[in-house]
Chain A
Amino acid sequence: MAATPVLPKLVGQRVKRREDPRLIQGRGAYVDDVKIAGMRHLAFKRSDIAHGRIRSVDISAAEAMDGVEAVFTGAQIAEVLAPMPIGTPFPSPEHRAVAVDTVRFVGDPIAVVVACDRYVARDAADAVVVDCEPLPAVVDPEKAMSGESAALHADFPNNVALGPLPSGTGVGRKGAVDDTAVDAAFEAADVVIAQRMVNQRLAPSSIEARGVVAHYEPGREALTIWSSTQNPHILRTFVARMLDLGENRVRAVAPEVGGGFGAKINIYGEEYVAAALSKRLGLPIKWIEDRSEAFLATVHGRDLIAYVELAAARDGKVLGLRMRIIADIGAYNMLLTAGVPTNSMTMANATYAIPAIRATLTEVFTNKTPTDAYRGAGRPEAAYFVERAMDMLARELDMDPAELRRRNFIQPDQFPYKTQMGAVYDSGDYEKALDHALKVAGWERLKQERDAARADGRLVGLGLSMYVEICGMGPSSTLPPGGWEHSQVTVERDGRISATTGTSPHGQGNETTFAQMLADQFGVPLDHVTIHHGDTAVVKQGIGTFGSRSQAVGGAALHDAGGKVKAKMAKFAAALLEAHENDLVFENGTIAVKGAPASAKPFAEVAAYAYRPVRLPEGLTPGLSDEAFFEPSNNTYPFGCHIAMLEIDRETGEPRLLKMVAVDDAGHLINPLIVEGQIHGGLAQGIGQAMIEEVAYAADGQPLTASFMDYALPRASDLPRFELDSTVTPTPVNPLGAKGVGEAGTIGSTPCIVNAAVDALSGCGVRHLDMMLRPEKLWRIIHGQPARSSDA
């Protein structure tokens, strides 16, 4: 008898992504691939000034063009569309999807054209004549809130959108904490570090820009909306509300999504306009964002200023931290705009047992593109501020930066650890991650290499940073749409397994990782499992993919749903095998009585029986399908240690990254290969922020980096070979012990690179550098030249 092939356990294995062959071969179907007979195309006329009052909008020439179906001004759109809602519980000015009387940033929509194709639509948009009275623009948030600038929104004096929020508040936080002890800590300190730091504005830049197809069918009184979104269920909720339809009349579909990086969480005006006009005109409508629009009209990320003060004793023990954060949120509140910077307050404790912290936040309107989530969303900023300050302290104390951190860590026996900001860190072992990173990098040897290079006159620096972040976004008390996830697992009649997930993967690889989990759970081959996602008609419920939550929350829901179906299947198998359901093993595509392999029934045979149970076991219903909602008891808090070595060309100021080491602890890993891919992507974006990326505006609000000719995204040649490793500290808040890893790379990397750059320039009297590391900025420091005003 031939031996039964033994299926390997897949969880923990480096399984290649099942998604990649179709994506690499161009066989994925994105929003722009959706084509419906009679479909019309939208183009938006956008403001080319940063602030102005609309005197008139003349659409007559555009309307008269061949192929133009209709043209709408902001006022006309306002008749069919209420102001846009936001997703945070904060005050927000009225925000129209298409501006009615005032434009507030370059790119603000003024009119919208519906035409037979996107070329005609664009020509017609160009033919819309706008008369705008320019108003003074402000792009500097500190100037905007100073009382000297004109207000963007009438009911928000001094352009203050929110705050100052006191310590411990923000989205999902219980309320202000008593932070009065911090002042005494500063009184008692031997050493105080004080530094203004900027975490600059970035453009998320997914390879697929945004896009939407809206198809309202008057006969069915139902809308289908395809969108390049990270969260179709949230999209459905908001679009249904805006169109006054029941959620049961709206189907939202996220087809292949070519990257989101947080910017596709937001529900955008273009989505509402497409849906509303489809309903109004009774026609399918498509809008595909072009790259020029993406730079203006897709949310930006970061753009925080922090005044950071650190108080410490001579022995390096940190006594207190004060952090006054100013967030430049641009012209409007979008879905999560107001909430994102609150993460920076929440994470002020970092990995350290800092006994007293005051972290406050003020959010400010400026005449720029609105900000919202971008990979990391508040945590990279917090890590940057604290880790830069820690490095400055180490330098002040002439202490090894690793040693300074070691002296301040929250200790493993202190978890769960309640921070000064009211967060409860689930689990952690920071010294383990630090020690492992030092070992992987060869820290002592790198120090020698650096010193030897310096002796040769080279500007070489070494930087280290710790980080801890918030992942597994939930529970519902901390997340406005709810903090759970949903999954349905079905064993089909033929024994193949279908599963849905309410997460909406767009690069995370959940079609692979989730299949690995179910293949192991049911003892079947990987290719017998299919994961469905991104369609509200197929996936009953869901929240979506953001906050590194897919595995920790979505994976847990899948695990629970799979467990329910497996338990039921065991009952059918028990009946067939005349055994007890607890005595069965699911392996190698069979179900057998434990210790009696000869008893094995093919998995498919048991499945078929469940769908035609000629003798239905008592208490059972037919079929093998069940669902689970999973609500975590807390966020997860992954952490790690990143180390960078960098050299600066003395003559040109060009920085070059020589080494990038990342040791990350995301708890249990389902697929280390995919985890590494996530870290790689995150590191690339973190390195991008540290070294080359920056959205810049002229003083009049004109964008200076509105194309890839001026906005630098990292290329492969900008990146060193990444040296990765991990430690494993499981979380107790979900059954998988997995914490989440999608954003980690962006969080630890920026401070360690800047720390390395400051170290490289330590002979030049530099205490701090703001990102990005523009060569001229470094050259001016090296050569004792005053900073350029744009870099000051």
Chain B
Amino acid sequence: MIPTAFEYERATSLDDALAKLAAAGGAGKLVAGGHSLVPLMKLRLSEPAVLIDIAHIPDFAGIREAEGLIEIGAGTTHHDVATSTLLRDRCPMMAEAAALIGDQQVRNRGTLGGSLAHADPAADYPAVMLALDAEFHLKGPGGWRAVRARDFFQGMLTVDLAPDEILARVTFAPVRAAAYAKLHQRASRFAIVGVAAAVDVRDGAIASARVGLTGAASSPSRLKNVEETLAGRSVSPGTVAAATAVAGDGIEDINDDLHASAEYRRAMIRVFTRRALDRALARAAV
């Protein structure tokens, strides 16, 4: 639990952070809440020479709505996401997912951007970001670029974020009819299986749906076959059952570990897909 020696620098702006990152020449790591990186450093699984603290950059945290989109700064803590009245009102799934992360101490420090950039395969946010079809705004030496969540998560701990880029904020169109359901691992509170479902219900029928899965495999993914089964069908238990029945089909690399076998996880994908859909559809009804 003793990290290797490192320098600590505090960035004053996004550009300052980028400059410091460039100056570190590949040996730098960004830190905000430190709840993914610092444990890895203590275990000496990550040994950055320079830590660049971006938690104090002005306007790096915050939640607001503009032009129909919700924008959340990457430095926003899980606690602030979980307790945001804007999110609870406009996009309750986001707040409820944040409330299920770790424990209060973790939520007080850990940040949205840190979690997404680290991309633990059992983290909660990725499923939610996929279901919301969120857009990630990255800044690098060449300026800004935007990446869709579905393109951002590329594989085990691998994301479309270059070492010299910073994930600055996330935007998405709020969806009220969405819910996140999770079976937590009882030590870490990470997801054994987490399913985020967002539905677009019009005139008693599901126009479209997006369903994100986390925890079950090496990286988060969309449950396309569930989405396709739902699309165009009436809101009914039968529809949910039909969609649930195919949840997880086609996923080959289901995790198998001390806490849950692949077989159990596969069964839980269906259970939690149904729970997420039931709650999302209940929200659509009010």
A interface residue numbers (CB < 8 A to B) = 43, 118-119, 122-123, 126, 290-293, 651-652, 654, 691-692, 696, 704-705, 707-713, 715, 718, 774-776, 779-780, 783, 785, 788, 790
Closest residue on chain A to residue B274 by CB atoms? A651
Tell me, rounded to whole Å, the shortest Cβ–Cβ distance linking A107 to chain B: 14
Residues on B with beta carbons closer than 8 Å to the beta carbon of A776 = 259-261, 264
Q: Is the CB of B2 within 8 A of A654?
A: no
Q: How far is the CA of A33 from the CA of B43 in the complex (A)?
A: 24
Q: Is the CB of B188 within 8 A of A709?
A: yes
Tell me, rounded to whole Å, the shortest Cβ–Cβ distance linking B94 to chain A: 21
Q: Is the CB of A126 within 8 A of B5?
A: no
Residues on A with beta carbons closer than 8 Å to the beta carbon of B261 = 776, 788
Tell me, rounded to whole Å, the shortest Cβ–Cβ distance linking A491 to chain B: 46
Q: How far is the CA of A651 from the CA of B1 in the complex (A)?
A: 38
Residues on B with beta carbons closer than 8 Å to the beta carbon of A711 = 187
Q: How far is the CA of A654 from the CA of B4 in the complex (A)?
A: 40
> Does chain A have a CB within 8 A of B156?
no
Q: How far is the CA of A229 from the CA of B2 in the complex (A)?
A: 23
Residues on B with beta carbons closer than 8 Å to the beta carbon of A122 = 2
Q: How far is the CA of A776 from the CA of B264 in the complex (A)?
A: 7
Closest residue on chain A to residue B270 by CB atoms? A651
18 contacts between A and B (CB under 8 A): A118-B2, A119-B2, A122-B2, A291-B1, A292-B1, A651-B271, A654-B183, A709-B187, A709-B188, A710-B188, A710-B259, A711-B187, A712-B186, A715-B103, A718-B186, A779-B264, A785-B263, A790-B258
Closest residue on chain B to residue A774 by CB atoms? B259
Q: How far is the CA of A445 from the CA of B1 in the complex (A)?
A: 51
Closest residue on chain B to residue A120 by CB atoms? B5
Interface residues of B in 95-135 (CB under 8 A from A): 103
Closest residue on chain A to residue B256 by CB atoms? A788
Residues on B with beta carbons closer than 8 Å to the beta carbon of A708 = 187-188
Main secondary structure of the interface of B (DSSP, over half): loop
Q: How far is the CA of A719 from the CA of B103 in the complex (A)?
A: 15
Q: Is the CB of B2 within 8 A of A779?
A: no
Residues on B with beta carbons closer than 8 Å to the beta carbon of A712 = 186-187
Closest 7 CB pairs of A and B: A290-B1, A712-B187, A122-B2, A712-B186, A709-B188, A776-B264, A692-B186
Tell me, rounded to whole Å, the shortest Cβ–Cβ distance linking A498 to chain B: 39
Given contacts A43-B2, A692-B186, A710-B258, 6 further A-B contacts (CB under 8 A): A290-B1, A652-B183, A709-B188, A710-B188, A775-B183, A776-B260
Closest residue on chain B to residue A790 by CB atoms? B258
> Does chain A have a CB within 8 A of B251?
no
Closest residue on chain B to residue A718 by CB atoms? B186
Interface residues of B in 1-49 (CB under 8 A from A): 1-2, 4-5, 42-44
Closest residue on chain A to residue B103 by CB atoms? A715
Q: How far is the CA of A707 from the CA of B263 in the complex (A)?
A: 25
Q: How far is the CA of A774 from the CA of B267 in the complex (A)?
A: 16
> Does chain A have a CB within 8 A of B268?
yes
Q: Which of B103, B263, B271 contacts A652 (CB 8 A)?
A: B271
Tell me, rounded to whole Å, the shortest Cβ–Cβ distance linking B2 to chain A: 4
Q: Is the CB of A779 within 8 A of B267?
A: yes
The 8 A CB mask of B250-284 against A (1 = contact, 0 = none) is 00000000111101100110010000000000000
Q: How far is the CA of A353 from the CA of B264 in the complex (A)?
A: 45
Residues on B with beta carbons closer than 8 Å to the beta carbon of A783 = 267
Residues on A with beta carbons closer than 8 Å to the beta carbon of B190 = 709
Q: Which of B44, B258, B260 contacts A126 (CB 8 A)?
A: B44
Residues on A with beta carbons closer than 8 Å to the beta carbon of B186 = 691-692, 712, 718
Q: Is the CB of A292 within 8 A of B43?
A: yes
Closest residue on chain B to residue A708 by CB atoms? B187
Q: How far is the CA of A292 from the CA of B44 in the complex (A)?
A: 12
Tell me, rounded to whole Å, the shortest Cβ–Cβ distance linking B182 to chain A: 11
Q: Is the CB of A123 within 8 A of B4?
A: yes
Closest residue on chain B to residue A712 by CB atoms? B187
Q: How far is the CA of A713 from the CA of B189 in the complex (A)?
A: 11
Closest residue on chain B to residue A654 by CB atoms? B183
Q: How far is the CA of A709 from the CA of B36 in the complex (A)?
A: 12
| A292, A775, A788 interface centre (most CB from chain B within 10 Å) | A775
Q: Which of A119, A713, A774, A790 contacts B5 (CB 8 A)?
A: A119
Tell me, rounded to whole Å, the shortest Cβ–Cβ distance linking B271 to chain A: 5
Q: Is the CB of A710 within 8 A of B187?
A: yes
Tell me, rounded to whole Å, the shortest Cβ–Cβ distance linking A578 to chain B: 65
Closest residue on chain B to residue A789 by CB atoms? B261
Residues on B with beta carbons closer than 8 Å to the beta carbon of A652 = 183, 268, 271
Tell me, rounded to whole Å, the shortest Cβ–Cβ distance linking B196 to chain A: 18
Closest residue on chain B to residue A209 by CB atoms? B1
Q: Is the CB of A692 within 8 A of B1?
A: no
Residues on A with beta carbons closer than 8 Å to the beta carbon of B43 = 292, 707
Closest residue on chain B to residue A772 by CB atoms? B186
Q: How far is the CA of A119 from the CA of B188 in the complex (A)?
A: 27
Closest residue on chain A to residue B264 by CB atoms? A776
Q: How far is the CA of A306 from the CA of B232 in the complex (A)?
A: 59
Tell me, rounded to whole Å, the shortest Cβ–Cβ distance linking A123 to chain B: 7
Q: How far is the CA of A654 from the CA of B258 in the complex (A)?
A: 16
Residues on B with beta carbons closer than 8 Å to the beta carbon of A710 = 187-188, 258-259
Q: How far is the CA of A403 from the CA of B46 in the complex (A)?
A: 59
Residues on A with beta carbons closer than 8 Å to the beta carbon of B187 = 692, 705, 708-713
Residues on B with beta carbons closer than 8 Å to the beta carbon of A692 = 186-187
Residues on B with beta carbons closer than 8 Å to the beta carbon of A718 = 186
Residues on B with beta carbons closer than 8 Å to the beta carbon of A691 = 186
Residues on A with beta carbons closer than 8 Å to the beta carbon of B260 = 775-776
Residues on A with beta carbons closer than 8 Å to the beta carbon of B44 = 126
Closest residue on chain A to residue B190 by CB atoms? A709
Residues on B with beta carbons closer than 8 Å to the beta carbon of A292 = 1, 42-43
Tell me, rounded to whole Å, the shortest Cβ–Cβ distance linking A296 to chain B: 12
Residues on B with beta carbons closer than 8 Å to the beta carbon of A779 = 264, 267
The 8 A CB mask of B165-191 against A (1 = contact, 0 = none) is 000000000000000000100111010
Closest residue on chain B to residue A716 by CB atoms? B103
Closest residue on chain A to residue B188 by CB atoms? A709
Q: How far is the CA of A330 from the CA of B118 in the complex (A)?
A: 37
| B183, B186, B261, B271 interface centre (most CB from chain A within 10 Å) | B186
Residues on A with beta carbons closer than 8 Å to the beta carbon of B268 = 652
Q: Is the CB of A705 within 8 A of B258?
A: yes
Tell me, rounded to whole Å, the shortest Cβ–Cβ distance linking B170 to chain A: 26
Q: How far is the CA of A704 from the CA of B5 in the complex (A)?
A: 28
Q: Which of A290, A704, A713 contacts B2 (CB 8 A)?
A: A290
Q: How far is the CA of A449 from the CA of B108 in the complex (A)?
A: 39
Q: How far is the CA of A718 from the CA of B44 in the complex (A)?
A: 31
Q: How far is the CA of A698 from the CA of B190 in the complex (A)?
A: 22
Q: How far is the CA of A603 from the CA of B186 in the complex (A)?
A: 57
Residues on B with beta carbons closer than 8 Å to the beta carbon of A704 = 258
Residues on A with beta carbons closer than 8 Å to the beta carbon of B4 = 123
Tell me, rounded to whole Å, the shortest Cβ–Cβ distance linking B185 to chain A: 8
Q: How far is the CA of A140 from the CA of B140 in the complex (A)?
A: 54
Q: How far is the CA of A710 from the CA of B260 in the complex (A)?
A: 12
Residues on B with beta carbons closer than 8 Å to the beta carbon of A290 = 1-2, 42
Interface residues of B in 175-220 (CB under 8 A from A): 183, 186-188, 190
Tell me, rounded to whole Å, the shortest Cβ–Cβ distance linking B209 to chain A: 21
Tell me, rounded to whole Å, the shortest Cβ–Cβ distance linking A655 to chain B: 10
Q: How far is the CA of A632 from the CA of B10 in the complex (A)?
A: 62
Residues on A with beta carbons closer than 8 Å to the beta carbon of B188 = 708-710
Closest residue on chain B to residue A788 by CB atoms? B261
Q: How far is the CA of A784 from the CA of B1 in the complex (A)?
A: 43
Residues on A with beta carbons closer than 8 Å to the beta carbon of B42 = 290, 292
Closest residue on chain A to residue B5 by CB atoms? A119
Q: How far is the CA of A122 from the CA of B42 in the complex (A)?
A: 11
Q: How far is the CA of A291 from the CA of B38 in the complex (A)?
A: 14
